[in-house]
Structure 1
Amino acid sequence: MDLFDIRREYNRSGLRRKNLPENPVQFFEHWLKQAIDAKFPDPTAMTIATVNEHGQPYQRIVLLKHMDDQGFIFYTNLGSRKAKQLAKNARISLHFPWHPLERQVHITGIAIKLTNIEVMKYFLSRPKESQLAAWASRQSERITARLALESKYIELKQQFDKDKIPVPTFWGGFRVKPASFEFWQGGEHRLHDRFIYQNQDNGQWNVERLAP
């Protein structure tokens, strides 16, 4: 397969320092809103990267469920590979690829487990089918066949037919407290615009332009 000639120009818009606010969360929210308004499929989808005890990186896509100045929140099975890796090394990387807008955002930070109250509040807001799926799937564990997963789901659906579904003890979430933001905007002739925000000891953000 020849991939050498698969390329395109990036010429939608540029990014200049004068257009960047002092708070990167504010700018991220602006870009996220534009991705949502553009009706992209899964605009809140993000790749999260963790590493195991041997330094081997792992990536997967999850959905961002909340964001504010305190951090970025996602939910997962606490027995999953990513949760186990975060328990040993809380450093994490988030990546948002908004290709139609020729943009991407890369965030690094520390993942902190959410409280039981935060987890319960979100779990109870989920559709019943999603609540059942959380119970049915022991994420990242080996299973013999898909039929085993579907059978467990049906069994739980019958068990909780008219009852409230409790929050599984093995289900939770994380808040990523950001240490850096990198905003990337595609540019003509591969002269892309890249700016990195880095959190300083005094809580302020330092902004620098990076070569593409």
Structure 2
Amino acid sequence: MTSALAKIEDFPSDPVEFFKQILQAAAEGHPEGFMQEMNLATVDEEFGVLNRTVLYRGLTADNFVFYITHRYTRNFKNLQANPKACITFYMPDVKDQAGKDTTWQVRLIGATAVELPQDEMDGLWAKENLASQIRGHICPCGEPINYDDLKAKHDKFLQEHSGKSIERPASYTAWQFQPQRWDFLKVGLNEIADRVQYRLQSNGKWESMHIAT
């Protein structure tokens, strides 16, 4: 058996630039259309803390992570009631510069959710695939359903809108997340993980440091 210490080297002063580098490395070697998921944890009045895995949609012009949802979902209602959240990205089998397989975990700690302006929604809606657009109109998120009834509703909606653009529902919206800390963990086989954490300072700048796992 062996043991070693992982080490994160040559990381940039800006956590978003570091995040972009890791995402790019994670996408290499995957088929076209690689999509990154993220785990979103919110505070819920009924259950305490709820988490779910959602699709990472990118960065805003201000370099904040954002994702898309609907106003009728529980995650929207959670964030509306309490905008504090935590996000985790898990990226296994990422090749480092030496070609070695590593696993990365990136967390946004102490993030505050801010809803994006509605004038940005049409552009995002136009990029949605057909299934996502139909789901926004026919699926009552979290409510019990009869599968056959929903299937019939789906097929009718699809037929009626064949070859036509689908209107953006008023429920369609997006949140961006403004973190107090970015936390990057790297580990390989038989290694003790290394972490680099960026902490937001009162002057708006980031302070970075290695921290123990």
In the superposition, the TM-score normalised over structure 2's length comes to 0.85
| CA deviation after TM superposition for structure 1 residue 155, in Å | 2.3
Deviation at 1:12, TM superposition (A): 10
SS in structure 2 of the partner of residue 22 of structure 1: coil
**Residue of structure 2 in register with 1:177 after alignment:** 178
Structure 1 residues 207 and 137, CA, compared in 2 at 3 Å: closer, same or farther? same
Q: Which residue of 2 aligns with 1:207?
A: 208
| 1:54-133 matches, cutoff 5 A | 56-68=48-60, 69-100=62-93, 101-108=102-109, 109-133=111-135
For the residue of structure 1 that corresponds to 2:157, the secondary structure is helix
Distance in 2, Cα, partners of 1:44 & 1:9: 32
| Secondary structure of the structure 2 residue equivalent to 1:76 | strand
Secondary structure at the counterpart of residue 180 of structure 2: strand
Structure 1, 59-68 or 150-159: larger mean CA deviation: 150-159
Q: How far does residue 15 in structure 1 lie from its aligned partner after superposition?
A: 0.9
Higher helix fraction (1 or 2): 1
Counterpart code for 1:44: Q
1:44 and 2:46 matched: no
Aligned equivalents of 1:23 and 1:197: distance in 2?
8
Partner of residue 148, structure 2: 147
Instruction: Supply the AA of the counterpart residue of 2:75.
Output: K
The secondary structure found in structure 1 opposite 2:174 is strand
- Measure how far apart 1:21 and its partner are: 1.0
- TM-score, L = length of structure 1: 0.85
SS of match in other structure, 2:134: helix
Over residues 162-186 of structure 1, what are the superposed CA-to-partner deviations in whole Å (9 max), with x where a residue is unaligned? 4321111112111112221100011
Question: Contact 1:10–1:186 (CA<8 Å) still a contact in 2?
Answer: no
CA distance, structure 1, for counterparts of residue 115 and residue 181 of structure 2: 19
Cα shift at 1:27: 0.3
* Alignment partners' CA distance in 2, 1:48 and 1:13: 27
CA contact 1:48–1:92 (8 Å) conserved in 2: yes
Q: Which residue of 2 is the match for residue 137 of structure 1?
A: 139
How many corresponding residue pairs?
202
Correspondence for 1:5: none
Matched, 1:186 2:187: yes
Unaligned runs of 5+ in 2: 94-101
Identify the structure with the greater strand proportion: 2
C-alpha separation between the residues in 1 aligned to 2:211 and 2:73? 35
Deviation at 1:153, TM superposition (A): 1.3
Q: CA deviation at 1:11?
A: 6.9
8 Å CA contact retained: 2:6, 2:193: no
Q: Is the 8 A contact 2:86 2:107 kept in 1?
A: yes
Question: What are the ranges of 5 or more consecutive residues in structure 1 without an aligned counterpart?
Answer: 1-7
Query: Cα RMSD (Å) of the superposition?
Result: 2.5
